[in-house]
Amino acid sequence: MRPLGSLTDIQKLLSRKLIGQPAAIAAIVPYVEMYRSELSPEGRPAGVFLLLGPTGTGKTKTVEALAEVLHGSSKKLLRIDCGEFQMEHEVAKLIGAPPGYLGHRETQPVLTQQKLNGASSESCDLAIVLFDEIEKASPALTRILLGVLDKGSLRLGDNTSVNFEKTMVFFTSNLGAQEMGKHLRPDFGFESLMAREGSDHLSKLEAIGMNAVRKNFPPEFVNRIDAVVTYTPLGSREMAAILDRLITELQEHIDKRLRERAFRIEVRPRARRFLVEHGTSAEYGARELKRTVERELIQPLASLVAGGEVRARAHITVDLAAKRDKLVLRCGDKEDLAQAC
């Protein structure tokens, strides 16, 4: 296994990819270090985490960022969409039907040793498994997972076993998000005018989240979780940093996909403020910002490219319109985009 660098290096790499959630990094990285130093407990996963909080705060992004740091790709993980296992009989798809049952040979288990090994890499043999929106799954799924979290082993329908000792297991959940939203944005009264920040604010959110978790999951499941991380809504500063990241990724995408036809984009400060202001949503977080960038920037840009109005190595300037109601895209110094760049 190739060295990944020091604990500080991993923290720095994650901090560049995950904005505004230092508590998540502080909770996860020590377990990576324990595994790398071969001090993780035997007979169980290297780490089990429950990530709570409102949508769009970076829960799934955290797991993808860790996969990118450890394995070089955000897709190098085994992801289970728990919304697909809401009925008890659907959970059988995870482990496969046992011999003698209808569909035994036709049903390929989702959680196999081969798929688990495929979530690791040459640089790191620590596989990452994500159970997304665990609260949507049937209780039968959490019963199956008890053995995984306690003994690091899962018995499949064909009586073979899957070893989870070289894995980090993540659960994401929106449990308590609605009540967190009410705490963050009271509907009426003096509290609606007060800023919600500080350690007391975070402690309240954590209490709301854990209360919801204990109502929805049995104690034996909750007690097997190593760390519960509560994500807080992102502020305007974090949103601006995420916007910078989105624009950088857009430029990288243009360079990679268009190659010799690639061009440069420059988003002016006024245009950036417009995107942040119109893309900030307490309900949907960074997801709303991403949708705003797609609608206000990428779609108009795509229309220009599809219409042949942007030549290779052109310089596209994105600015705010005079009426401040939309963005305008200019090629070079020409303001008439009817002409080819």
In the predicted structure, residue 190 carries a pLDDT above the cut 50:
no
For the chain, give the longest Cα–Cα distance. Answer: 73
Tens digits of residue pLDDT in 253-273 = 999 999 999 999 999 999 999
Architecture (CATH level 2) of domain 236-331: Orthogonal Bundle (1.10)
- State the average pLDDT over residues 198-220: 85
**Ordered DSSP codes for 33-76:** HHHHTT-SPTTS-SEEEEEESSTTSSHHHHHHHHHHHHHS-TT-
The residue among 147, 234, 112 whose CA lies nearest residue 184 is: 234
**Same topology between domain 7-230 and domain 236-331:** no
In the predicted structure, residue 299 carries a pLDDT above the cut 90:
yes
- State the average pLDDT over residues 306-317: 91
Q: How confident is the model at residue 213 (pLDDT cuts 50, 70, 90)?
A: very high
- Cα–Cα distance between 234 and 124 in angstroms, integer? 31
For the chain, domain boundaries = 7-230, 236-331
The residue among 297, 302, 298 whose CA lies nearest residue 320 is: 297
Min mean pLDDT across 183-187, 207-211, 297-301, 331-335 is at 331-335
Tens digits of residue pLDDT in 62-103 = 999 999 999 999 999 999 999 999 988 888 888 876 554 555
The residue among 111, 225, 201 whose CA lies nearest residue 160 is: 111
pLDDT at 203: 84
| Cβ contacts of 161 within 8 Å, gap of 6 or more | 153, 154, 155
Q: How confident is the model at residue 191 (pLDDT cuts 50, 70, 90)?
A: very low
Contact 340, 311 (CB under 8 A): yes
2: tokens are 């190739």
In the predicted structure, residue 4 carries a pLDDT above the cut 90:
no
- Cα–Cα distance between 51 and 4 in angstroms, integer? 24
- Cα–Cα distance between 211 and 23 in angstroms, integer? 19
**pTM for the full predicted model:** 0.84
- State the average pLDDT over residues 211-237: 92
pLDDT at 180: 82
11: tokens are 């923290």
CA angle 13, 318, 273 (to 5 degrees): 65
Q: How confident is the model at residue 317 (pLDDT cuts 50, 70, 90)?
A: very high
In the predicted structure, residue 251 carries a pLDDT above the cut 60:
yes
| Cβ contacts of 288 within 8 Å, gap of 6 or more | 56, 279, 280, 281
**E-only strand ranges, the chain:** 47-52, 78-81, 127-132, 153-155, 161-163, 167-173, 227-230, 264-267, 315-320, 327-331
In the predicted structure, residue 337 carries a pLDDT above the cut 70:
no
To which H or E segment does residue 143 belong?
Answer: helix 139-151
pLDDT at 336: 43
In the predicted structure, residue 168 carries a pLDDT above the cut 90:
yes
> Is the torsion defined by CA of 24, 30, 34, 36 positive or negative?
positive
CA angle 332, 338, 340 (to 5 degrees): 55
Distinct helix (H) and strand (E) counts, the chain = 13, 10
Q: Return the DSSP state at 122.
A: S
- Cα–Cα distance between 103 and 101 in angstroms, integer? 6
Q: How confident is the model at residue 285 (pLDDT cuts 50, 70, 90)?
A: confident
CA angle 103, 164, 110 (to 5 degrees): 25
Contact 59, 180 (CB under 8 A): no
Q: Is 154 exposed, middle or buried (0-12, 13-18, 19+ CB in 10 A)?
A: buried
Per the DSSP assignment, residues forming a β-bridge with 266 are 317
Tens digits of residue pLDDT in 16-70 = 888 889 999 999 999 999 999 999 989 999 999 999 988 888 999 999 999 999 9
pLDDT at 51: 96
Q: How confident is the model at residue 283 (pLDDT cuts 50, 70, 90)?
A: confident
In the predicted structure, residue 178 carries a pLDDT above the cut 90:
no
Q: Return the DSSP state at 294.
A: I
CATH class name, domain 7-230: alpha beta
Min mean pLDDT across 1-15, 98-112, 119-133, 164-178 is at 98-112
The residue among 2, 153, 148, 130 whose CA lies nearest residue 66 is: 130
